Structure 1
């Protein structure tokens, strides 16, 4: 079952990096709960994610690549991601690793949380 989730995760990151919001949203439940790493707090649902990412991309240029997958005891999927964030002039703002923690419902993303990686 993990492979299906890994495929879903890879699809969402590819879509995000290509700025293809509709493809990314196709991997998520309608009422998905999503962490707003860039602003803090959470958003809920496709429309709020679309607004958040659209606003984010007018101010920063993030690229995220999944580099590792770990199934947690509680059933969630931990995805270690390499995150490279530049401002719109190309200046590096962040280059390192974070953990994105996903839960799924009916094969689609239900929640996404963020945890810092120690010794980043």
Structure 2
């Protein structure tokens, strides 16, 4: 298995376990991360930490990678089943999305979110 795929799988496992420091350890210090909740991007480890801490106080997202493959330009596409509940357990979203990753020196440098259309 590609080292990059192992890194991405570990990121999802740690995100779902809310092991923030372990996910951040897989990212470059200047990470660009999409703020799928409020819009735009957050930057750096502290930006991601603040974003996820605020998000997890209100939402309970779980993401399951379904397929990971390398794109021709070297980025990675991850087809993801995303389920989001509020803190009371009400289902807010159950959908498939595509996460596009750029890695640098064995760490996640940027992630983008694409909608999946049938």
Q: Same fold (TM over 0.5)?
A: yes
Q: Which runs of 4+ in 1 moved over 4 A?
A: none
List gaps (5 residues or longer) in structure 2: none
Q: Deviations over 1:29-86 (max 9, x none)?
A: 0001001111110011000100000000011100001110121111100001110000
- SS of alignment partner, residue 58 of structure 1: helix
Are 2:8 and 1:9 equivalent residues in the alignment?
yes
Query: Partners in 1 of 2:86 and 2:111 — Cα distance?
Result: 24
**Structure 1 equivalent of residue 29 of structure 2:** 30
Query: Partners in 1 of 2:17 and 2:68 — Cα distance?
Result: 22
Q: Please, what TM-score do these two structures have when normalized by structure 1? A: 0.95
Alignment of 1:53-68 (within 5 A): 53-68=52-67
List gaps (5 residues or longer) in structure 1: none
- SS of alignment partner, residue 73 of structure 2: coil
